[in-house]
Amino acid sequence: MKIADTMQLWILTQRKWMYLESIFSGEDIKQQLPDQARKFVNIDKKWADVMDSCKKNKNVRHQCVIADNGGRWDQLEGISQQLDQLQKSLTAYLESKKMAFSRFYALSEDDLLLILGSSKPETIQVFLLKLFDCCKMLTFEQGGKLITAMTSDEGEVYKFVMPVKPEGSVEDWMGRVDDEMKRTLHFMSKEAIFFYARTDRMDWIKKQIGMVAIIGTQIWWTFAVEDVFRSIKNDKHAMKRELAKESADIVDLVAIIRTDIPMALRKSINCLIILDVHARDIVE
C-alpha cells in the first residue's frame, strides 16, 4: 500500500513540477517574478536530486520504502506542498494583472502567462479577439514601438487619434490602448454625425467604418422624425415627405449594393438596409 500511495504522490508532484517548470523556464517570467523564480530553483534542485537517485537505483521498492531513510513519501510531500504554495503565489500575481486590466479575465491562465512571459508587445495579437469584440489586430509601427490603428475581424481599419506606446507593463499599455480605442471611436462618431447633413449620404457612408455609419444614421433618423413632429402642426405633409425621403435612401442603398464594392462596405450597407427598412416602416 505504501508503494502505491507513494507512486500516486510521485506522479501528482511530477505534474505540478512540469507545469511550473514550463513557466519558470522563460527568462521574461524570471524577471517578472524574481522571488517566485528563486523559490522554484530551490524546489527544482530537490526534485532533480530525487530523480538522480532514481536513475542510479531503479528499484521501485527501494525508492518508495527504503531510500531516504524510510522512503520518499515525506520528501515528495514537502516538494508537493512547496509547489502548491508557488502555484498560489502565481495565481495571486495573475489576479493582480487581471484587476489592473479587467479584459484579461477573458483569458485562461496559460494564455495570460504567455503574454506576461514575452517581452514582445506583438504577442498580444493572437489573443485580441478574446479581449475585444471583433478586434483582430493592432497595427505596430516603428519596429513595434508604436500602436497606431486597430483592424476588425471583417478587415475594417481605423487609425488612433493619438498613437499608443507599448511601454511599461502589459496591463498598463493595454489599458491605454483600450482608452484610446474608446476615445478615437467617440471622436470619429462625433465627426461623422457633424458631417452627415453636409455631405451626400452615399459618399458619407463610404467614408465611415460600419459601426460609425450605423450610429450616425440612427441618430439623424431620430432627429428627422422628431423634427417632423415639431413641424407637422404647420405642415400636414411633413411626415409624407420624410417617408418619401427614407424610401429614396433605401433605393440608393440597394443600387450601390449591386455594384462592385469592398466586402466590409457591403456588410455595412447590408446592415443599413435592414435598419432603414425598419425605420421607414415605423414612419409609414
How high is the pLDDT of residue 159? Answer: 94
Confidence tier at 76 by pLDDT (50, 70, 90): confident
Domains recognised in the chain with CATH numbers? 2-100 (1.20.140.100), 109-194 (3.20.180.20), 197-283 (no CATH)
Please give the C-alpha separations between residue 5 and each of 1, 58, 259, in angstroms, as whole numbers.
6, 18, 73
The C-alpha cell 512540469 sits at: 18
pTM for the model stands at: 0.77
What digits encode the pLDDT tens for the residues 79-100? 889 989 888 888 888 899 999 9
Strand positions, DSSP E, 76-233: 135-141, 146-152, 157-164
- Please state, in angstroms and as integers, the Cα–Cα distance from residue 154 to each residue in 5, 254, 265, 266, following that order: 55, 21, 10, 11
Which 3-state string (H, E, C) describes 269-282? Answer: HHHHHHHHHHHHHH
- Percent helix, percent strand, percent coil in the chain, to nearest 5: 75, 10, 20
**How much is the CA Rg of the chain, to the nearest whole Å?**
31
Percent of the chain with pLDDT over 70: 96
Give the up-direction half-sphere exposure of residue 129: CA atoms within 13 A in the CB hemisphere. Answer: 7
Grid coordinates representing 40 are 522554484
105-141 pLDDT per residue, tens: 999 888 898 888 777 899 999 999 999 988 999 999 9
Residues in the chain, how many? 284
**CB contact set of 176 (below 8 Å; sequence gap of 6+):** 164
pLDDT tens digits along 161-220:
999 999 888 999 999 999 999 999 999 999 999 999 899 999 999 999 999 999 999 999
